[in-house]
């Protein structure tokens, strides 16, 4: 395996010469090489699936975070204008209660996930939500997915090259046995 990307995913190294690769690994047959490459291929595919799920989760959360950000901005605007916020609270499915919120309090509660709610000052909440929206997480996931796709393709090519090498090697052995057999008959 080659170098690792910044998040620790090992890169696949292209096998240029199967002979030298086999001697470097200290093996005489292709079986251990193909087994190791297939194992790495499976790991790459698992990582790819995991990252795709993370990307989908992240993409689902972005609209909610943007709505939260808009609400906090709206509450700040109301506070600065000295107004209250009239809204409806969801009490249960299809059950709402009218409410008037005093925006001068200066605090808002935000769900962080996993049944955790934290109280923030408006400005802190604004910074947190802006940071979450602007987060480079998606960019890193995309970068890792491209890195994994390259490694998957390289591994597939390596497996094919090693199989083709073995097929050529067996044909040469068969051809040499046939030539030896023909020479012995003469």
Provide the pLDDT for residue 83.
Answer: 92
Helices (H), the chain: 18-25, 31-81, 122-133, 137-185
What's the number of domains the chain is made of?
1
- Give the model confidence (pLDDT) of 66-75 as tens digits: 899 999 999 9
C-alpha span between 79 and 104 (Å, rounded):
5
Domain membership of residue 136 (yes or no) is: no
CA-CA-CA-CA torsion sign (162, 166, 169, 175): negative
**DSSP label at 12?**
P
Question: Residue 118's pLDDT band (boundaries 50, 70, 90)?
Answer: very high
* Domain carrying residue 42: 3-103+146-167
Domain membership of residue 140 (yes or no) is: no
Q: Is the pLDDT of residue 100 over 80?
A: yes
Q: Which residue has the higher pLDDT, 139 or 114?
A: 114
Torsion of CA 170, 175, 177, 180, to 10 degrees: -160
Is the CB of residue 87 less than 8 Å from the CB of residue 99? yes
Domain membership of residue 40 (yes or no) is: yes
Helical pair 18-25 and 31-81, crossing angle rounded to 10 deg: 90
Provide the pLDDT for residue 39.
Answer: 96
Domain membership of residue 121 (yes or no) is: no
> Average pLDDT of the chain?
88
Provide the pLDDT for residue 132.
Answer: 83
C-alpha span between 120 and 126 (Å, rounded):
9
Q: Which residue has the higher pLDDT, 7 or 161?
A: 161
Question: Residue 65's pLDDT band (boundaries 50, 70, 90)?
Answer: confident
Provide the pLDDT for residue 27.
Answer: 87
Question: Residue 175's pLDDT band (boundaries 50, 70, 90)?
Answer: confident
Domain membership of residue 123 (yes or no) is: no
Q: Is the pLDDT of residue 183 over 80?
A: no
C-alpha span between 93 and 22 (Å, rounded):
65
Q: Is the pLDDT of residue 136 over 60?
A: no
Domain membership of residue 172 (yes or no) is: no
């Amino acid at each position: 395996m080659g170098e690792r990307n910044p998040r620790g995913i090992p890169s696949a190294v292209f096998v240029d010469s199967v002979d030298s690769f086999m001697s470097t690994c200290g093996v005489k047959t292709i079986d251990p090489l193909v087994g190791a490459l297939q194992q790495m291929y499976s790991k790459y595919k698992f990582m790819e699936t995991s990252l795709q799920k993370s990307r989908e989760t992240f993409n689902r959360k972005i609209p909610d975070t943007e709505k939260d950000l808009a609400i906090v901005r709206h509450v700040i605007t109301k506070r600065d204008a000295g107004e209250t916020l009239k809204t409806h609270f969801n009490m249960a499915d299809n059950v709402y209660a009218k409410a008037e919120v005093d925006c001068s309090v200066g605090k808002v509660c935000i769900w962080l996930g996993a049944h955790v709610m934290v109280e923030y000052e408006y400005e802190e909440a604004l910074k947190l939500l802006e940071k979450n929206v602007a987060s480079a997480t998606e960019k890193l996931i995309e970068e890792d997915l491209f890195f994994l796709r390259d490694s998957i393709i390289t591994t597939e090519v390596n497996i094919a090259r090693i199989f083709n090498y073995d097929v050529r090697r067996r044909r040469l052995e068969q051809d040499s046995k046939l030539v030896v057999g023909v020479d012995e008959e003469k």
